Structure 1
Amino acid sequence: MCGGHEHVGQPRLFQHAVASIHLPGSVDPHDLSTDRQFAMNLARGVQVLRAFSAQSALLGNRELSDITGLPKATVSRLTYTLSLLGLLEREAVSQKFRLTAGVLSLGHPLLASMPVRQLARPLMVELAQRSGCTVNLGMRDRSNVVYIDSIRPHDDNAHMPDIGATYPMVASAIGRALIFATPRQERMALLNFLRVQDGETFAKYASALEEDRKRWEKHGYCHGPGYWRKEVHAIAVPIAQRSGEPALAMNCTLYAHRNAAEYLPKKVVPLLKDAVRHLEAAQGLL
């Protein structure tokens, strides 16, 4: 499936074989069952932790088994171990599991070691105030975008994403900005991975992906006029990074704004591009 075959109707997206390109987070643990260096039990434990989400914050062993595809007996051992390690705890009433603060503390060293967040924050605050949009900074996590910072223009803003929130790459403007900002060979591998990972979602947003490819090449930004959630409109621009550093992008989102489809491209895109240029300059990239 990852051999680089062209996707019907999308001749520009898949052009070369990319089997040799390694994408972090794209590995399926079951494909490495014969790799003696691969710690399968650790991988299964991570699968259990990743099964939790904002929509599924409480999960029992049976539910975890259904989500991960792991045998219930294996899940029971993993939840027992993860609880003893302080990464899961059992809720008293339902007796289901939830993540603990121990998981949150694992992510803090990453956030604290990213100076781009500190450089971006004042620019994001100014952009939010000038545009009236929620402004977010994101990077790739497997087939998703994960927000590493978020600024709201005011507290009563209806669209309130948070640090750690994830969104499908192909379905979101910021995800598509990350896709088109990656080096060409890696981009081909990423697109093939996304197509194999969730073919239904990829097919659903293939036309949006192609539209944004043309928009990116001509105008340098991506636009999500309510494709994924009809009440949320967004524009996004990638942020230049040094070779070997993870790709980053910034977006501006408006919630249930009747003129968003026109307001964002005409009024906010120049402000967003200006903020990104200032951030790149602050990193010594211009």
Structure 2
Amino acid sequence: MIHLPGLVSPHDLSTDRQFSMNLARGLEVLRAFTPLDAVLGNRDISDRTGLPRPTISRLTYTLTLLGYLSYDERLQKYRLGSGVLSLGYPLLASMRIRQIARPFMEHLSKDTGCTVNLGMRDRSNIVYVETCRLDAGNAYQPDIGSTRPLLSTAMGRALLMACSTTDCNAILNRLQVMDPGSFAKDKPSWDRDKKAFSRRHFCHSQGDWREEIHAIAAPIRQPHNEPQVALNCTMSAIRLSKNSLEEEAAPRMLEAIRQIEGACGIH
């Protein structure tokens, strides 16, 4: 069993007899699609996954027959099919924290004027599982299922803060191997938040991911075996007054988190 799922490359497990390489390759094909690259041809997918085009052709054919891809005859390219959406819904529906947190998030958003999001880790990213979008000035309005980088965001760093030292080091090591340049750029922000976290109990992104978006975030404790989640408050830089996130929004966010944890039975 992989202790921290998502931290390995399928190619690293090619000698593991229990590991299904065909399944892994099929999932890599599905992950090649993004909001900006919603329609891809076999060559595009091959370039993004590093898999040979004959392999990609077999995988896209199979995934189309199963309903996980749909084929555009006019463009002669593929897009994700409804089967992918059906896979994700049971996870979202079973996450009790979403229903518990939603009213507190709505109140926090109205109280601060921030966009408020709930997220969890997915590989080297965070993925939003709930959102209250109030800040119209935010050009990067999130949606459920949208992703952000782990180390360059306040929420990503908050999720790392909630990990054990062993797990945190494993994730950081993987990030460094995957993209040394981005890791070196983001490491100072991580070090700064790590140093200040015991005092202020939240992480702060001052435009680290996008210079026009600032954010604060903190982890939410959950019952054992529940996925680790974090809450953030984001605001466009043009709407920020000096220290408004740290001095005004942060106490309200931490109080909302305390109430969410209480509703989850954590005291």
TM-score normalised over the length of structure 2: 0.96
The superposition leaves residues 151-205 of structure 1 with CA deviations (integer Å, 9 ceiling, x where unpaired) of 0126776442100010110010000000011112211112112211222211111
Rounded to whole Å, the distance in 1 between the matches of 2:2 and 2:15 is: 21
Structure 2 counterparts to residues 199-214 of structure 1, below 5 A? 199-214=180-195
Q: CA deviation at 1:262?
A: 1.4
2:159·2:228 contact (CA, 8 Å) conserved in 1? yes
Fraction of identical pairs, as percent: 53
SS of corresponding position for 2:232: strand
Structure 1 gap segments, 5+ residues each: 1-19
The superposition leaves residues 241-269 of structure 1 with CA deviations (integer Å, 9 ceiling, x where unpaired) of 23332211000001233535511001000
- The yes-or-no answer on 1:277 pairing with 2:267 is no
User: 1:117/1:217 Cα in 2 relative to 1: closer, same or farther (>3 Å)?
Assistant: same
Rounded to whole Å, the distance in 1 between the matches of 2:137 and 2:154 is: 23
Rounded to whole Å, the distance in 1 between the matches of 2:242 and 2:29 is: 39
1:170·1:176 contact (CA, 8 Å) conserved in 2? yes
User: 1:155/1:60 Cα in 2 relative to 1: closer, same or farther (>3 Å)?
Assistant: same
Provide the residue aligned with 2:57 in structure 1.
76
Structure 2 counterparts to residues 100-115 of structure 1, below 5 A? 100-115=81-96
Provide the residue aligned with 1:122 in structure 2.
103
1:139·1:146 contact (CA, 8 Å) conserved in 2? yes
Q: Which moved further from structure 2: 32-41 or 101-110?
A: 32-41
Equivalent pairs, count: 267
Rounded to whole Å, the distance in 2 between the matches of 1:239 and 1:261 is: 27
Provide the residue aligned with 2:165 in structure 1.
184
Provide the residue aligned with 2:24 in structure 1.
43
Structure 2 counterparts to residues 126-165 of structure 1, below 5 A? 126-153=107-134, 158-165=139-146
Rounded to whole Å, the distance in 1 between the matches of 2:212 and 2:117 is: 17
The superposition leaves residues 92-145 of structure 1 with CA deviations (integer Å, 9 ceiling, x where unpaired) of 321111001210110000011011100000000000000000000000000000
In angstroms, what is the RMSD of aligned CA positions?
A: 1.6
- The yes-or-no answer on 1:62 pairing with 2:50 is no
- The yes-or-no answer on 1:263 pairing with 2:216 is no
Rounded to whole Å, the distance in 1 between the matches of 2:183 and 2:242 is: 23
User: 1:21/1:49 Cα in 2 relative to 1: closer, same or farther (>3 Å)?
Assistant: closer
User: 1:89/1:261 Cα in 2 relative to 1: closer, same or farther (>3 Å)?
Assistant: farther
Structure 2 gap segments, 5+ residues each: none
User: Which one of 121, 130, 147 corresponds to residue 166 of structure 1?
Assistant: 147
Provide the residue aligned with 2:156 in structure 1.
175
User: 1:232/1:69 Cα in 2 relative to 1: closer, same or farther (>3 Å)?
Assistant: same
Provide the residue aligned with 1:253 in structure 2.
234
2:138·2:213 contact (CA, 8 Å) conserved in 1? no
User: Which one of 32, 35, 44 corresponds to residue 13 of structure 2?
Assistant: 32
Rounded to whole Å, the distance in 1 between the matches of 2:17 and 2:223 is: 34
The AA in structure 2 aligned to 1:274 is: E
